[in-house]
Structure 1
Amino acid sequence: MSSTSATWTSFIKSIASYNGDLSSLTAPPFILSPTSLVEYPQYWSEHVDLFLAPNFIRQEANDIDAVELKHMVAVLRWFISTLKSQYCSRAESLGGEKKPLNPFLGELFLGKWTDQSASKQHGDTLLVSEQVSHHPPITAYAIENKTNKTVLQGYNGVRAFMSTTALNVRQYGHALLEYQNLKETYLITLPPLHIEGILMAAPFVELEQKSYIQSSAGYVAVIEYSGKGYFSGKSNSFKARIFKDIREAQDKTKALYTISGQWSGVSKISRGNTLASDAQVFYDANAQKAQPLSVKPIEEQGPLESRRAWQKVADAIRANDYNLIHQEKSIIENEQRELRKKEQADNTTWKQKFFDEIDYKSLTEDTDETGYIKLAKMANLSHKNVPSGTKQDSSKEQGAEEASHWRFNQEKFDTAKLAF
């Protein structure tokens, strides 16, 4: 048996017998990705044209659908376009899912998508991502297009546990997508997932259960995920239905639109609650080229910016130098421990740069400027700190008292005058 195989077997045994949250468990160097988790929010807007598309949809005289419904269809198309890069691009490019580097507290990732539209109506789209918590690990992010007054903000944390053959991951957090010119906001929840192929040393992600998109106009999209089973099914499969509101969603026959297919491949759309034989293509993940994010050269980045901070570790990972990976990671980790000790000695705490933690227990629908409480209520979703997409009054919500969430601070961002 090779040393890598032996280490892999040892790692599998260790996580199989581990009772706690696996998300921060130290992984063997050979399954590490050279990319920090703080970079992952870039996948939300790799298709800038789809991200901004609702801004350019107008009500036509012969339209059957309300313009708000057309907006919802466009938002759902954009959401499906984000999944391939988020959840299976590494398995395709690296031969298997890799564990991203755990961001350190205060780690930043900044970038922009330049306007590549023929009409030049997009303008630049900016990304700021920040590690706002280390225990538990939480990444907050905002994507802003000032030209079209469009802002996506959200945060993500994960908790993982091992079952017999797969690593199960529950995502915490959500995203709020605001089209200010349209006076519309969307609440987007994050689906649970599991990582299969671990026993074969070829991990890959499958999404599971449901996620939701709730529009301030009332429309709701319910996305159900399924994967390839032992005897049937296709990998990365989903079926989404759009309803007039969450009450209508209790009856699938009342669906206004049905979309079905593979989020990593082709999906199709039909009116009503079933997919018609002549259904049109909704989205083709293999035909749509992602627009890469533009990031400053490493030498121009600050010490907290991700690619500069992790450069030596990332280079060691690419070189498969396991001793150097351990050495360089230890330097960063020890620096962080010393910072926490100093803060404790000085009776201070780390101050986040662009995001604030908002306690929603002290807010009502009328005092919540983000609209989150109203949107969660419209979708019958819990607004407490529970797994994303948890329904109100479900067993998962019982005993959960905290209701604090991370929100983008526009004033801090504008004052910083960042160079992208």
Structure 2
Amino acid sequence: MSLTTTSTKSMDEKKGQEQTKSAWFQFLKSVMTFKGDLTSLTAPPFLLAPTSIIEYSAYWAEHPKLFVAPALEADPEVRALKVLQWFLSTLREQHASKDETGKRKKLKPLNPFLGEIFLGRWMDDTVGVTELISEQVSHHPPKTAYKIFNKGHGISLEGHVAPKAYFSTTINIDRKGHGVLHIDRYDEDYLITMPKVHVEGIMTFQIAPELSGVSYIHSSSGYVSRIEYASKGWLLKGKSNSFVATLATTSDPSKPLYTLEGQWNKAYTIKKGGEKSKVTANVDLAGLRRTPLTVAPLDQQHPLESRRAWHAVAEAIDANDIMAVGREKSAIENAQRALRREEKVDGRVWPRRFFREVRISEDPVLARFADDAALRRSDGNSDDDSEGMSWKFDEDKYRRTLQNAAEGVKSPTHTRFDSGIGMINEEILVGA
């Protein structure tokens, strides 16, 4: 390569970086003055990830052995500790600013459309098959419901996430919702809430998500885990991605049985007792290798499945084709708006495929935690909804869908024009 060619390439790269920074600061100006949920804002293409946020449900079980481990433990105290350790293992890939290869992640995933689904399974030689079912049950406000289960070991996780983003000195994401981990063998439930997220480095363009606040894991067998998150912060004190977690009995939460401390993206220590106790174990989170999630080939996916529906958009993002990104995204979004208008005129509501909405007070599992402040804070509903709502997996709907598939009942063919999700007729709605 000649010196001239090298110089030209370097100048083009520098120009591209300057244009990207300029676009970022223009976007940041609109963020700072925007009133309402930032998830509804259209982000510049260079920030867009080629995946929908509905795929984030997969982070819960990308280490199937750790997901199943509590079901194999007879001691309830150690079982609660294993649930806490599994939860900590879910944070690294979900929130780290770089992927396993060291490549910086895109900041903004695609907003799922109402009715979007994401299905997959993890195959593990030791613990067998773990399955994932995720559905976008609400678009305004956004809510994603999920069910993850390993039938062979009798363990399951279900819940919903309702993120809300706002600007206050930086971009903040408050994730309402909760998960419930259930272990069949012990008829035991764990209520799980999520930490808040804020974005650091927005003025220096070194964008990195960071966790903050406190999240909890409450067990029906009488244990509670409290996880407090900290970051380096404006005064550069401490370390990024830090946390301190304690496991205690519900009757005496101030007396830790175990203390886990470290960085959720690297490693942590386990101490039996309080923070001043001796370290009994070291855990390397960075060394964990994810089990790949298996999904159906695109041509075998349902038209509402995420990767099929967003395929053209994802291709355009990967190709850095800004015009195609806008065109393909608009096709999906406009089709959805038209469908909502049609439903309103006809007096119809989009039927959810796998989940149903229930009042927390009417659900026998959630009723165990009805007095829990963490559950009341996590319901993701407006302040005037005092009882709170949750989304539950509907076994009957799921079995009906499986039966239809086994009997060869298929949805009608859709053209690529609307990515398979526009103006969907009644045959698709009944669970084909």
Q: Could you state the TM-score of these two structures normalised by the residue count of structure 2? A: 0.85
After TM superposition, which residue ranges in structure 1, 4 or more long, deviate above 4 angstroms? 89-94, 384-388, 397-400
Which residue does the alignment assign to 2:19?
A: 3
Which residue does the alignment assign to 1:286?
A: 286
The structure having more radius of gyration, on CA atoms, is: 2
Bigger Cα displacement from structure 2, 152-161 vs 409-418: 409-418
The structure-2 alpha-carbon separation of the partners of 1:221 and 1:384, relative to structure 1 and needing over 3 Å to count, comes to: closer
1:375 paired residue among 369, 374, 378: 369
Q: Could you state the TM-score of these two structures normalised by the residue count of structure 1? A: 0.88
> Residue 187 of structure 1 aligns to which amino acid in structure 2?
L
Which residue does the alignment assign to 1:64?
A: none
Which residue does the alignment assign to 1:308?
A: 308
In 1, Cα distance between the equivalents of 2:198 and 2:125?
36
For residues 68-147 of structure 1, the aligned pairs below 5 Å read 68-88=76-96, 90=98, 93-117=102-126, 122-147=127-152
Deviation at 1:266, TM superposition (A): 0.7
Q: Structure 2 unaligned runs (5+)?
A: 1-14, 407-432
Which residue does the alignment assign to 1:62?
A: none
The SS at the match of 2:341 is: helix
In 1, Cα distance between the equivalents of 2:98 and 2:356?
31
For residues 1-400 of structure 1, the aligned pairs below 5 Å read 2-58=18-74, 67-88=75-96, 90=98, 93-117=102-126, 122-164=127-169, 166-229=170-233, 230-245=235-250, 247-249=251-253, 251=254, 254-281=255-282, 283-361=283-361, 363=362, 368-369=363-364, 371-377=365-371, 379-383=372-376, 386=379
In 2, Cα distance between the equivalents of 1:332 and 1:256?
51
In 2, Cα distance between the equivalents of 1:297 and 1:89?
28
Q: Structure 1 unaligned runs (5+)?
A: 59-66, 389-396
The question of whether the paired residues in 2 share the 8 Å contact of 1:161 and 1:169 is answered with yes
Count residues in correspondence: 387
In 2, Cα distance between the equivalents of 1:356 and 1:336?
21
Which residue does the alignment assign to 2:423?
A: none
The question of whether the paired residues in 1 share the 8 Å contact of 2:71 and 2:154 is answered with no
Deviation at 1:147, TM superposition (A): 1.0
> Residue 51 of structure 1 aligns to which amino acid in structure 2?
F
Deviation at 1:183, TM superposition (A): 1.4
Deviation at 1:399, TM superposition (A): 5.2
Higher share of residues assigned helix: 2
The question of whether the paired residues in 2 share the 8 Å contact of 1:384 and 1:401 is answered with no
The question of whether the paired residues in 1 share the 8 Å contact of 2:178 and 2:375 is answered with no
> Residue 212 of structure 1 aligns to which amino acid in structure 2?
Y
The question of whether the paired residues in 2 share the 8 Å contact of 1:153 and 1:175 is answered with yes
In 2, Cα distance between the equivalents of 1:32 and 1:242?
38
In 1, Cα distance between the equivalents of 2:137 and 2:155?
23
Percent identity, aligned pairs only, is 43
Q: Deviations over 1:202-235 (max 9, x none)?
A: 3211111100000110100000000113332111
The question of whether the paired residues in 2 share the 8 Å contact of 1:132 and 1:352 is answered with yes
Deviation at 1:360, TM superposition (A): 2.8
Q: Deviations over 1:179-212 (max 9, x none)?
A: 0112111000011111111222232111111000
The structure-2 alpha-carbon separation of the partners of 1:347 and 1:385, relative to structure 1 and needing over 3 Å to count, comes to: farther
The question of whether the paired residues in 2 share the 8 Å contact of 1:91 and 1:204 is answered with no
CA RMSD of aligned residues (A): 2.0
Deviation at 1:91, TM superposition (A): 6.2
In 1, Cα distance between the equivalents of 2:99 and 2:167?
20
